[in-house]
Each structure stands twice: as C-alpha cells, then as structure tokens.
Structure 1
Amino acid sequence: MTLTRTAARAGLVRGRIELRQAFSGVELIGQLLWPVVTLVAIFLVRDVPLGGGYTLDTFILPSALGMFVALGMLLVVQQLAADREDGSLLRAKITPNGIPAYLVGKFLQISATILAYLAIVLLPGLCFVDGLALGRPGSWLTFAWIVLLGLLATQGIGAVLGSLVSSSRGAGYLSLPVLGLIAISGVFAPITALPAWLAWIAQVFPVYWLGLGMRSALLPDSAAVVELGGTWRPVETAVVLGAWAIVGLVLAPVVLRRMTRKESGSRVAARRERALQRLG
C-alpha cells in the first residue's frame, strides 16, 4: 500500500472535509460533550487532597489529556466500522489511490479532533488547576513528543482492531475492554493504588504510558513520588509508545489491505439489510 504524492494530497483534502463535517451543526455538540464533561469533573475535584501538597485535579488533568489521545484508538475503530457499513470504504477501494488517501484523511481528521479535545481541556484547566509546572525547561517538548507518539501508536492499533469488526455494533462491543483498560491505567487515581497484577497489565498497553508521559510534561519532578518507582521513567515511556507505534504502522496497512480485498457491493448490501432488520 504505497503512499504517493497524489494520494497524500487527496487524503489531506478528505481529512479537511471530514473535520469540517465533524465540527459543524449537531455534530459539534457531540464533539464538545466529553471534553467539557471531563473539564467539569476536574473542576469539581479541585479541592480533594492527594498527598504531598497536591490536589486530585492536578493529577487528573494531565492524565485526562493522555486518555483523550488514547481515545483516538476508539475513534478509528468506530469510524472504520461505520465506513464499512455505509460503503465508504468500498468506494475508497475502487478509487485510484483510494485506500492510502483514506488512511491519510482519517489520521488527519482524528488527530485534529484529538488536538481540539486537548485544547478544550487544557486551556481552561490552566485557569484553576494549581501545581502545574509548564514553565519547566523541556516541558512543552515532552508534551509534543508524547502526543505525537501517542497519536501514531493508538491510531495504528485502532486501524488493526477496526479491521476485525464489520459493524457499528461490533465496534461498540470492542469499546468495552478499551474503556476498562483506561479505567485501570491510572487516569483517575495513581496506579500505585491498584493491585500489583492490575498495574502490570496496565503497563503493557500505551494508555498508562500516555498518562505518565503527560504528567511528566506538566507536573513538577516532585510529583513523581506517587508514581511507580518514584520517577517519570521517560526512557521506558518512549520505548513502549514507540514500540506500539511501530507495530501499528506495520500491521495496519497489511490488515486493511486484506480487509478491503473482501469488500464488495453484496457485502455492503447485506450489512445494510442486517442493520435495517435490527432497527425494525
């Protein structure tokens, strides 16, 4: 699956169109819902003590940013399933350079959506969350590489998982274990409060490392006392996120190529028929 200049340009155009549609009209309300709800939740726990002179909102804000980057995985799964059902993926398949352009457009649209979520949570959060250390040397650089690796890792794996489901219902079922993984990955409370076996499971996947990386970027070094080992573990963070990014980038084109080979008009029609029967 070769990415040509023509395919890249077509993907950029497709991504801009999908992004504009995602943030227009009624769709805008759905896009704002979760980041706004998250921001309100952070505000409500601003006075809950965590220990070491910190409050819970100081810990949750960067962790929530990592969570939203990780949610790119679910967005890819959901949109791939929807595009298979309505025939968009089939149309991309029969268009010259269609699949590479589809992937570029999808990455652009979802990445821009995630960045919008981060801005909605972070910028207002700076006004009431105390204890952040954004002026620390290298803070924003760390933030940038964590976001970049996180987007590559989660969306690549999302494309692999999305190729395994053929309907929006299947995507919904797949979202349950992903949400469970987020719950045990130290987003809402330090992972040190969890049983050791759950902490080990969480560390296998990128969600925990996204939260840890965001905390290392936005919090002072003294806040690492509540982390495993009492350090930010930047090398381990880069290795794990980089490994997941490589796995996703290598596997995604392969599984998507195999998936699109099986797409046909009859399969799309059959899926539509099953969807109509469920609605009926």
Structure 2
Amino acid sequence: MSTGSALYAARVGLRRGGLEVRHTFTNSQDLWNYIFPSLIFLVVMFFMRGAAVPGTDFSLGSRTLPSVLGMSVAFGGLVTLMMSLALEREDGTLLRAKAIPNGMLGYLVGKLVLVAGMTVASMLIVLVPSLFMLDGIALTSVTAWLTLAWVLVLGLVATLPLGAIFGSLFTNPRNAGVIMMPVMGLVAISGVFYPIQSFPEWLQGVAQVFPIYWLALGMRSALLPDELAAVEIGESWRHLETVGVLSAWAVAGLVLAPWVLRRMARRESGSSVAERRERAMRRVA
C-alpha cells in the first residue's frame, strides 16, 4: 500500500464518516438512540441531586454527571463500534469494502469518525441540560475545557481500537452482546454512580486496570470543583495516572487492532457472507 493511496483512502473515510454523522441527525431511529438513553441519565441525576457525596455536602447528582459522560465515551468506543462492525460483517458491507483498493482503511476511518461524532453528540445532549439542572458544575475556565478535551480524545483513542477488535471477533452480531455483561460489571465497580471508595480495596484495584474508571475520573477533574478531589483515591485527580493508563490501552489497541482486522478481512468471502445471511433469515423465519 503506497502512502499516497493510503492518504486518499483516509480522506475518503473522513468524508464518509462526516456524511454518516450528519445522516444520523435526519434518521428518526438514530435520533431516538441519542435521546432515550440521555433522558434516562438526566432523570437519574435529577433524582440523585438531593443526596450528598459521602463526607461532603456536594450533590451526588452533580458528581455523577461527569462520570456518566466518561461512561458514554467508553460505551461509544467499545460497544457502538463493536456492534456496528459485527452487523456490517454479517450484511456484507465489509466484504464490499475489502473488494475496493484500500477499501478497508477507508471503511475503518469512516466508522471511527462516525462513532466519535455520535459519542460527542450523546455527551452534549446530557451535558448541556445538566449545566442548568445541576449545581456545582465547574466548567467555567479554559483549563476545565482543555481537560475535558484531552480526556475525551485520549478516551476515544483508548477505546475505539478495542471496539474494533471485539467487533472483529464475532460473525454473529447477536453473540456480540456477551461483551455487554462484563462492560456493565465494570461500570458498576468503576465509581460511575457512587464513589469507588465504598467498594473493597481489591475491587477498586480491578476497576483501576480498565479505562472506564479513568475516563470517569478525568471527566470529574474537568467538571467538578478542585475540593472534590479530596473524596477520590489518593485525594487527587491523578492526571498523570489517567494519561498513563489510557495511553497504555491506546497503544495496546492500536498495535493489536490492525492485525486482528487484517485477519478478519482475509477470512471474509462471498460464501461466508451468504451463509451468515441464510442463518439470519432462518432466525427471522
């Protein structure tokens, strides 16, 4: 693959991804997928705002907001991309991309742009109303916005390759749902809805191995007052550790994802797609 052809494929993927992001805002099903989960989170945080973070008088609902945003980034990178790849592998979209020179590169770039755009849109749907509904959100300085930006970008780079890897492992998108159980388990122990210090130390250690905890912590460091760091592990926002863990996951994903995707693409054929379609039709029937 020449550098020029790879760059052209990447540009095509960027344009395709941008078009698909715009298309999602004109599709009623996609709009529902944006709005419904966001409404659930907003309702949960509204009813949590009367409770206080243990040891403080700060609203638990306000503390939950940035954690939910971090969770949304993780879900976008891990689950949304995984399901999209699994579905389009079954319907033959990946096989068509494989048949075009550098088509897999353009397809993957477009899909990354689409999922990143959807993730940012979902975050804004939750964040903007919350700024008016919840008290104590400290997104009022350049530093806070910069922190929000680097946590978002690094979080996407850490999770999108993992989503691509998981999506490549399943030929049946219905089987991809098995990933949801461990992901939800990680959300439960990562301090998204309640401070992680309430869990046993060994469980805290498990949560800190994975990106969800660090994404939630990074978002809290951007949106919450500095004094709230006192209720975190080590009484600090731990920015260096956040960068380190998310970067480690990003490097691992970026190294493994191309290899896994190439192996998956080599196995794609017209007969395998036809077989999966036949199985899907039998399930519908």
TM-score range, shorter chain: over 0.9
Shift of 1:137: 5.3
Structure-2-length-normalised TM-score: 0.94
Could you say which residue in structure 2 is the equivalent of 1:16? Answer: 18
Could you say which residue in structure 1 is the equivalent of 2:34? Answer: 31
Shift of 1:136: 4.3
Residue aligned with 2:134, SS: coil
Opposite residue 16 of structure 1, the aligned amino acid is G
Residue among 237, 252, 261 paired with 1:256? 261
Shift of 1:223: 0.3
Residue aligned with 2:136, SS: coil
Residue among 170, 179, 185 paired with 1:180? 185
What is the rounded CA distance, in whole Å, between the counterparts of 1:165 and 1:278 in structure 2? 17
Could you say which residue in structure 1 is the equivalent of 2:58? Answer: 54
What is the rounded CA distance, in whole Å, between the counterparts of 2:142 and 2:225 in structure 1? 11
Summarize deviations over 1:151-186 as a string: whole Å, max 9, x none.
Answer: 111101111111111111111122221121112111
Opposite residue 193 of structure 1, the aligned amino acid is S
Residue among 174, 191, 196 paired with 2:196? 191
Residue among 86, 91, 97 paired with 1:81? 86
Shift of 1:274: 1.2
Could you say which residue in structure 2 is the equivalent of 1:141? Answer: 146
Could you say which residue in structure 2 is the equivalent of 1:4? Answer: 6
Q: Is the 8 A contact 1:23 1:31 kept in 2?
A: no
Runs of 4+ in 1 over 4 A off after TM superposition: none
Counterparts of 1:79-158 in structure 2, within 5 Å, are 79-136=84-141, 138-158=143-163
In the alignment of these two chains, the number of paired residues is: 280
Opposite residue 67 of structure 1, the aligned amino acid is M
What is the rounded CA distance, in whole Å, between the counterparts of 1:224 and 1:272 in structure 2? 52
Shift of 1:131: 1.4
The answer to whether 1:65 aligns with 2:30 is no
What is the rounded CA distance, in whole Å, between the counterparts of 1:237 and 1:16 in structure 2? 29
Counterparts of 1:229-268 in structure 2, within 5 Å, are 229-268=234-273
Shift of 1:31: 2.3
RMSD over equivalenced CA pairs, Å? 1.4
Opposite residue 70 of structure 2, the aligned amino acid is G
Opposite residue 205 of structure 1, the aligned amino acid is F
Residue aligned with 2:53, SS: strand
Structure 1 unmatched runs, 5+: none
Shift of 1:215: 0.4
Shift of 1:20: 3.0
Summarize deviations over 1:211-248 as a string: whole Å, max 9, x none.
Answer: 00000111111101221111111100000011111111
Residue aligned with 1:166, SS: coil
Q: Is the 8 A contact 1:153 1:241 kept in 2?
A: yes
Could you say which residue in structure 2 is the equivalent of 1:221? Answer: 226
- Taking every aligned residue pair, what percent have the same amino acid on both sides? 51
Residue aligned with 1:24, SS: coil
What is the rounded CA distance, in whole Å, between the counterparts of 2:246 and 2:70 in structure 1? 12
Structure 2 unmatched runs, 5+: none
Q: Which moved more, 1:67-76 or 1:160-169?
A: 160-169
Shift of 1:21: 3.3
